[in-house]
A = this chain, B = another copy of it.
Amino acid sequence: MGQAIPDQTVDTSNAPYVIVSSDTHAGLQCEDYRPYLDSALHAEFEDYVAERHAHRRLSEEVNAEFIEEWEGQNAEGLRGAYDPEVRDKELDADGVAGEVIFADGDAVTGQESPPFGAGLSAGQITDPRLAFGGARAHNRWLVEFCATNPPRRAGVALVPITHDVGEAVAEIEAVAGQPGIAGIMIPTMWHGFKPYGADHYDPVWAACAETGMVVHTHSGEADFTSYGDNVAMYVNEVPFWTHRALWQLLFSGKFDQFGGLRYAVVECGSYWVGDLLWKADVNFGASNKIKKMGSRMKGLISRLPSEYFGTNVFIGASTMSREEIRRRHVNGIDALMWGTDYPHPEGSWPHTVERLENDFRDVSIEDARKLLGLNAVECYGLDLDSLTEIAARIGPTPAQLHQDPELRTPPDATRTARWWMEEYNCELRY
């Protein structure tokens, strides 16, 4: 973790981009998880599989046209959710060298969710046996899957830390160090359990810091009871529920307490970052404005909140909008990580290169290298040499993205973008 990146960061040549998708998904067809699941849970598993199949039938009823089109046009590529050979072919065609892999390959009808919904729906499981059993089944499979091509894969294991901290630490220790395993995903919401800023979870953060496992929350869950069937309410709130854990960890001082602890919030956009950093830096940093509040954070955080971004906090921003790309310096040029969301339909696959050609033409090569890959290499400690070799074969070049090779990022781009530094006289210490 945290290897130095010497030359690539200022490589403005036309060398192909080392693209790392910070957000992909993989998983078996649900019934195929059976051999990976403790046999004591097989009876409950049959019910789960039956429920998944019923869910599939319901989805087909309400959404027939879209499902048929999506699955018809992408039949081969969708098999890459569990077939490593197909997967590498799809990544190649999409120009993607490396990937950070989450659970739940099928976002359309949910047929590739780990047992009992232990992936993106982990917070919904109330029985700890099922929560850990389902997570372990996926992790066992994930270890095998990532071993098929470790330089290219950064697998994220499932660890339902809310249910049992000791068991969580044991699972972290079991997966850490396996080839191609790079982090853990915790339930996005803590529900009735202790909030993530509580000391209760300290052994988890300690284990992650020590083993270099990056902690993640990934979008999916939200306060469903408040929305009924209103999709707009869900979409409006889901970023809040996804990045909530970030502020719990940051404000409770976990990044100071556990040196090297890293956290990434995934598929949650990045548009909300800048404003929350402004507010946090002014209210809780080395601000002259609200001395009283700043002093109440003394001993908890040792830097301005924005200074944790790009060192401890990363943003798996998936397929950024053009506006989010324009805001890259306020949101954190060292923290943002592009992601394709393969093989989900809301992502850029199988048209990632076209998307980049459209959206990156006004970005400096130097910035694009960070957003598209180098920040992920830094966050996950990936093998840059191997990825560069792959990229040499498949990565799009700056010329292909219509970029201007003369365009440079001004050295004070971050300071200029973070207008509050000067306006509120915040002290910048990096």
Contacts and interface: CB of A to CB of B under 8 A. Distances in A.
A401 to B, nearest CB: 19
Given A233-B251, A237-B247, A197 B228 contact: yes
Given A228-B197, A251-B230, A66 B275 contact: no
Contact of A232 (B227, B235, B293): B293
A420 interface: yes
A252 B235 contact: no
A226 interface: yes
A109 to B, nearest CB: 15
A248 interface: yes
A197 B225 CA distance: 11
B226 A276 contact: no
Nearest to A246: B236
Contact of A279 (B230, B271, B275, B284): B271
A283 interface: yes
A297 interface: yes
B423 A232 contact: no
Number of copies of this kind of chain in the complex: 2
B272 A247 contact: no
A426 to B, nearest CB: 13
A429 interface: no
A238 to B, nearest CB: 11
A298 to B, nearest CB: 12
Interface residues of A, number: 41
A420 B236 contact: no
A330 to B, nearest CB: 12
Contacts of A292: 66
B248 A232 contact: no
Contacts of A190: 226
Contacts of A237: 244, 247
A280 interface: yes
A309 interface: no
A41 interface: no
A66 B295 CA distance: 14
A406 interface: no
A213 B231 CA distance: 29
Given A279-B271, A297-B232, A226 B251 contact: no
Nearest to A248: B233
Given A271-B275, A423-B323, A197 B233 contact: yes
A278 B275 CA distance: 15
Contacts of A297: 231-232
A231 B280 CA distance: 11
Nearest to A196: B226
A403 to B, nearest CB: 20
Contacts of A323: 278, 419-420, 423
A128 B420 CA distance: 45
A296 B232 CA distance: 9
A149 B423 CA distance: 40
Contacts of A296: 231-232
12 contacts: A66-B292, A195-B225, A197-B228, A230-B252, A231-B293, A231-B296, A232-B247, A232-B300, A236-B276, A236-B280, A271-B278, A275-B275
Interface of A: 66, 190, 195, 197-198, 225-228, 230-233, 235-237, 240, 244, 247-248, 251-252, 271-272, 275-276, 278-280, 283-284, 292-293, 296-297, 300, 322-323, 419-420, 423
Give the 4 A-B CB pairs with smallest separation, nearest first.
A232-B251, A195-B226, A232-B284, A236-B247
